[in-house]
Amino acid sequence: MNINAVIGLVFLVLGVGLMLIFFFVRRNQPVRALRSISAFQHLRRALGLAVEDGKRLHVSLGQANILNSNGASALVGLSTLERVAQLSSLGDRPPVATSGDGTLAILSQDTLRSTYRRIGAFEMYNPDRGRLAGPTPFAYIAGTLPVISREQVSANLLIGNFGPEGALLCERAEQQSAFTLAASDALPAQAALYASAQEPLIGEELFAVPAYLQGTPVYQVSLHVQDILRWVVVGVLVIGAIFQFIMPLLGGGAP
């Protein structure tokens, strides 16, 4: 086993261990308040307004392939879609989900169907509300633009894997005076969305969306574990840098 696999395994075991420990410790405790992020406060307000105004919510899931390493962002998008469908079930218009990958489109339909079945509102389910907008990045954007402008959408959640072309969706939403929260796992997209979206999320904030929307212990525990692992990485990096600095001074080679 090479060193990368060993490091990966250590983080995996640490992650599983911490997640199980925190989950069993906290399962009977009340849900803790998370640190305030203005984007999520605005999102909650936009969700409420959409229901009150009889407008639709649009969840754009991006074009992540569920079999690739960027599939995790798609899973976050699906969890968000589940919660959005629950929250908007009191409204007149069910949410619409667009995706740039066939598997993701089917999973979005499946998420909507299972959510409506669970909350006893199966009549709200329409498979057309979870659709493939286009199979290539620009085809996806071209297919999603009409959804934002013609389907009475008042809030857009762009959560998944996007390229910088996601800025075109934010611009169209801006023209429609619609709210936009955007988060991508791709670096070029994060820069473009920071400039164009009303509420951009940077870096790992993408993975905090379900915790802030769902408020269930498992997502909060996951967020907590993520924070701890980040501090572990920071510690390892700092210690490594110190060693790299002092080893030549002590007469040894760089580690």
Between residue 39 and residue 98, which ones bind other proteins under the rule CB under 8 A? 65-67, 69, 72-73, 75-76, 78-79, 82
Establish if 146 lies at the interface with other proteins (CB under 8 A).
yes
Tell me how far, at minimum, the Cβ of 171 lies from other proteins, in Å: 5
Q: Which of 21, 92, 110, 245 binds other proteins (CB under 8 A)?
A: 110
Establish if 150 lies at the interface with other proteins (CB under 8 A).
yes
List CB contacts of 193: < 8 A, sequence separation 6 or more.
158, 162, 166, 167, 170, 182, 183, 184, 200
Q: Which of 7, 117, 122, 248 binds other proteins (CB under 8 A)?
A: 117
Residue 33 CA: distances (Å) to CA of 37, 48, 224: 12, 20, 12
Rounded to whole angstroms, how far apart are CA atoms 32 and 214?
A: 12
Q: Which of 9, 239, 242, 246 binds other proteins (CB under 8 A)?
A: 9
Give the helix/strand (H/E) hosting 160. Answer: strand 153-161
Return the residues of window 213-242 that contact other proteins according to CB under 8 A.
Answer: 218-219, 222-223, 225-226, 229-230, 233
Instruction: State which residue, 138 or 243, has the beta carbon closest to other proteins.
Output: 138
| Residue 74 Rama label (left phi>0; alpha psi -120 to 50; beta) | alpha
Q: Which two tokens stand for residue 134?
A: 């286009």
Nearest to 70 by CA among 32, 100, 46: 100
Rounded to whole angstroms, how far apart are CA atoms 148 and 243?
A: 53
Establish if 157 lies at the interface with other proteins (CB under 8 A).
no
Q: Which of 19, 34, 37, 87 binds other proteins (CB under 8 A)?
A: 19
Tell me how far, at minimum, the Cβ of 117 lies from other proteins, in Å: 7
Size of the site for other proteins (CB under 8 A): 80
